Structure 1
């Protein structure tokens, strides 16, 4: 692989990557993803993803361990730091990034342990939930219409590499959940059954709702079980990402105990 040195901001590759970095939903139009930083690039490569393009700053190209991350890519560019900065969504830009072809939406797995995201707005929350899902063995995340773009740069960064080990389907309508054969389980501060005492089905699909409005009434009506998370400290509610981590841990703990 022979990296190409680029010094013009009008290079077509850089123009495309600026669109990907600057617009949370641009990946849907352009069919590719912009992944910034060596941690995310390593995580993708460890899961068998091969970048179509790697962009390295001159500083990164001088470091063999970072240059090695570009091996196998169809193309690699080396740019001055000032050309990489507009590609970054970080206060301190990374030293490299990569473009991947957007994978085709997988088929919904009817019997898989899942997480359903109902109109979550905050990219940090969405990414953190994806990270918890991957950590606790959930294979599938289903995002209803109105949820933050799953493959946006901010969600990718918050997911810390979890994306590359999950089945992600977004833009779903409520009726699409009819394809699931696992029961839906939602959390609500008004539920009578506390999480630690509830008879949790395994596998199930945990439903996580909008940060302010919670799970919609229409979706709650589809959930045969609704549980609450005890909060003896007296807070009104938990952050949705924290609630998701607690619920997914409890599901995995029960599954492990039952063998």
Structure 2
């Protein structure tokens, strides 16, 4: 359908609406459909800023009539949903009133020399999204997610990432042998072992390994590290949240790279 003539959906039984609901509420539906749901103008705007055009742009009826001019240049199928239907597909407490369906990017190959982050069974979607934000902010271009890590393109990770996905090369389903393709040193994070971060000579570029919220980096993965570091915690807490630790470590690495 032409972008100039939006399709209006008012029936809860519409097949497209059912697909959208699965994309919005099922963390792995994107793998089956080969498409991703972005909800809210921030995420949609971040995709457009990276040159990513939606296959489908979805608006609540009231949102479309309130501000159609902002999105008038979209070369996509435009779908309008009755407000109650849009609210029914949203997984947000306060629905975003608009969203994009974009094609799932083709799985990239591991880039051997890229500054990277390796996620080892990091399971909380909010933590994963926050790590992606830090990776993009501090110049790490590749994220490798080992099996057991939260689905990188799930709605919750996308919301927490706040657009960082579109600046990164994301590789899911990685297994330990795949890491042999990396030509950069691996750096392991630890709560109790290794050099203190502020004293360590950090290799550059490198691949930071961030582990499971409770168990940390697995022994098998830690054994591959060229360096293990810990963060000084004079306050005496047992450990930091993995997303907070990632931000500290990646910032330190970025500073070492320009020092």
TM bucket (normalised to shorter chain) is over 0.9
Question: How many matched pairs?
Answer: 256
Match of 2:23 in 1: 20
Partner of 1:108: helix, strand, or coil? coil
Structure 1 residue 72: deviation in Å?
Answer: 2.6
Partner of 1:34: helix, strand, or coil? strand
Structure 1 residue 44: deviation in Å?
Answer: 0.3
TM-score scaled by length of structure 2:
0.96
Partner of 2:208: helix, strand, or coil? strand
Tell me the distance in 2 between the aligned counterparts of 1:86 and 1:134.
32
The question of whether the paired residues in 2 share the 8 Å contact of 1:188 and 1:228 is answered with yes
The question of whether the paired residues in 2 share the 8 Å contact of 1:54 and 1:70 is answered with no
The question of whether the paired residues in 2 share the 8 Å contact of 1:186 and 1:225 is answered with yes
Taking a change above 3 Å as real, the CA distance of residues 42 and 29 of structure 1, as seen in their structure-2 partners, is: same
Structure 1 residue 71: deviation in Å?
Answer: 3.1
Match of 2:121 in 1: 119
Q: Which runs of 5+ in 2 are unaligned?
A: none
Partner of 2:191: helix, strand, or coil? coil
The question of whether the paired residues in 2 share the 8 Å contact of 1:142 and 1:172 is answered with yes
The question of whether the paired residues in 2 share the 8 Å contact of 1:143 and 1:169 is answered with yes
Aligned residue runs from structure 1 range 224-239, under 5 A: 224-239=226-241
1:59 and 2:62 correspond: yes
1:71-101, CA deviations, whole angstroms, 9 ceiling, x for partnerless residues? 3343111111110012211101111011001
Tell me the distance in 1 between the aligned counterparts of 2:237 and 2:70.
48
Moved over 6 A (4+): none
Higher mean C-alpha deviation, range 228-237 or range 78-87: 78-87
Match of 2:99 in 1: 97
Match of 1:45 in 2: 48
Partner of 1:60: helix, strand, or coil? helix
The question of whether the paired residues in 1 share the 8 Å contact of 2:58 and 2:100 is answered with yes
1:30-88, CA deviations, whole angstroms, 9 ceiling, x for partnerless residues? 10001100000000000010000011012211233x55336334311111111001221
Structure 1 residue 194: deviation in Å?
Answer: 0.3
Cα RMSD (Å) of the superposition? 1.1
